[in-house]
């Protein structure tokens, strides 16, 4: 698995926030992050998914989103081939905050 190139466009949702996106492509890769919570390592290599979005419909500045939460990556990775091939949308919702935040995924 290769490193995802910068710049990163990280998905950041607050508790009970949601975003609906229509991925047109995706890539599973690695990313180096620099956690800031107490007791965190200086840097950490994680698995991430970069989802490419329809032009003009991205919630960020780039035409893609980088998803780094472990539970989100684990839920979404097996769904993406079918989501992309069938041109489906995905609703991603945050539950909680901080390191204990979890995400739910709904294919629309």
User: pLDDT exceeding 90 applies to what percent of the chain?
Assistant: 77
Q: What confidence tier does 56 reach under pLDDT thresholds 50, 70, 90?
A: low
Q: Tell me the residue ranges of DSSP E strands in 34-101.
A: 44-53, 64-67, 90-95
Bridge partners, residue 92, by sequence: 19, 105
pLDDT value at residue 34 = 86
20 vs 98, residue with greater confidence: 20
User: pLDDT exceeding 70 applies to what percent of the chain?
Assistant: 94
Rounded to the nearest 10 degrees, how much is the dihedral formed by the CA atoms of 84, 56, 66, 97?
Answer: -110
Supply the pTM of this predicted model.
0.88
3-state secondary structure of 76: helix
């Amino acid at each position: 698995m290769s490193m995802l190139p910068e710049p990163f466009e990280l998905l950041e949702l607050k508790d009970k926030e949601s975003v609906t996106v229509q991925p047109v492509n995706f890539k599973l890769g690695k990313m180096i992050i620099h956690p800031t919570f107490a007791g965190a390592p200086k840097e950490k290599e994680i698995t991430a998914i970069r989802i490419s979005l329809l032009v003009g419909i991205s919630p960020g500045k780039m035409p893609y989103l980088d998803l780094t939460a472990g539970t989100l990556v684990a839920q979404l990775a097996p769904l993406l081939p079918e989501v992309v091939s069938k041109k489906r949308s995905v609703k991603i919702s945050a539950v909680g905050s901080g390191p204990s935040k979890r995400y739910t995924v709904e294919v629309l």
